[in-house]
Chains A and B, each alone.
Chain A
């Protein structure tokens, strides 16, 4: 039937146009979230006892960057504090030295946790997974508790010791899971069950430390586990940035393979994907990102679970777009939470880890109620 043929080609062109539009929408979403991150970061930087307007904030950041780059040798030989005292005005010092570190930490941590969550969900083929599903948070918590309560650890220097310990134990748990799945086969079931077992083990060990620990130290451990941006500083951010900038592109290179895993292991294998290797590599990269974030922030919950979901509801499950989108979305949630975490009267911050859930749950419920289709 010749008529049908003509309709057929038209139909193809129509689908193609629609598909391009669909891709366009995803790119728009990523673009819009990026802009939103910049705006919310700007708003966050205006908050504080000293009045600085949002335009001033942006210009201080804009002109501050060349200033810093020109005097990089001074910063490296002295310290960032000396540098801001010597070269910056009062406003510039406030922005660069006091307000930006927690903001940048919120952005980096949000990106890291969002992306680690998306990756972990893809790896174990389970939308209920998060960066913490495989026990990494309790391992990091144990590392931190060990450093805080016993004052002992694998590094010296009071503040760094906690981060290094948390990082080390977080990766320990990942390597144990890696070892178990190498021995038993890299299936999602093995990984999840091993992860749950490790979570209980590390929680119990933390419990033992807390039971015998001094009251003050125990309180500090609890505070650490809430997750907070208050400990941010540029040197920590630099380390966090390096971890993310290495791991995230590598994860994104695996987007197609993660997509293929979503159709099941056998189908993925038939598409030429090395399923075991993809699973192990992505899991280790996601663990590295998570460890690199939470060793400085403590365990900030909710973002890694929910950012991927929300983005999936909005732009669909294609990991090529979902990974960057959920990272940026994570940054938005964490930044917003950090704004809400500074009550106008109280002198200090509420740990941001407590606020993320209060902020995220209503957003999440709204999306669940609004949507009629299946979620996964």
Chain B
């Protein structure tokens, strides 16, 4: 036993003076080890040390990007990023370790490399920290910036429902750009309806820095002890809430449903198309109230519609994918295709194509498909379909390859023909993995279709990206919730079905 261990470990080592080995490893880290014959270790040292040197040089040039020469860059970079000192010292230590290791190896001593590995790992970790710009302080101190968005996305339901409002209002016509004699027709008082009386009814609009005519509104017949909001409709029919001295003009009715409020005529542009004066404006004193129950908002309905679209998008891609992947998987199963060189060539070609198609992400297929068939869910189906065929083709073919030949042998032995053998011995064996992989893929396709939507493949992903870009985070939150709920349900369903079939 002992002899054999030595034989296994023995490798042909070149005898070189330890000092030369050390010098070689000093010039190129690991070169000494390579010459001696520990070439894997030498290449590892050379690769690590040289890539660390390269990365440090790159960091210095990035940090001190304004400096022209290395003589200027190095001190600037080291003063800006103290971590570079640590890296430099570690690199020097690693260099020394590699040289010492080369000397020891040349002297045929047992190599001790653990410290070198630790230094290399630690340096890559530090550089990684640097390169990806990890900033734990920012992570904590600027968390506040994320709170409004997170809270809207986490609880979007206020935007998902609304209640209809009805207005309870009195109106009066006001002229601007009018002669003192012009008085608009009075709005008749209707019993049971609120009524307002405005004085004067002809005045000047505010201009920048110049307050307009002060109006006094007296209202009656409103609901008692409730807020009344003053609205203004300009001659082109645009309605807005009136501001006076910086605040929206509101009043609260007394117990008889009456109020009085004073404010200046607002500042607004009269478009030339409105012609010469007088221009008629409508003043509205409005109480609003909600009627009826909660109703789903436009965003909620849209999200539901697109979620359904997404589920079907995933389903169609899976169905077509399964239908096409089954024949492909037979071509990609080695045990079925190894009969002759021709079939073996088909097997290799199929495998090769499947691997290429599978290695292209669905998001890239989606971009290609949107150019091909235009934006919308059909592009999404095509994108997912390509990836599904490739992925399922591989999984199915592996399931076919791993079937137990025993039952096939047994069914053959009873005198069954080929098709009977397939029905009795092959299909029962491949159904469980096929069902399992198919459901797993459906699950993936629905999750994936949200991403596909973002690049124009239809479905809820399209909405999600649109709402995020419009900074409508509550609406985006609705989409996020729908996706999360759907994926969770699907996950549960697919795991239950797989449990049953496998």
Chains A and B belong together in one complex:
no
Which residues does A use to contact B, with CB under 8 Å? none
Which residues does B use to contact A, with CB under 8 Å? none
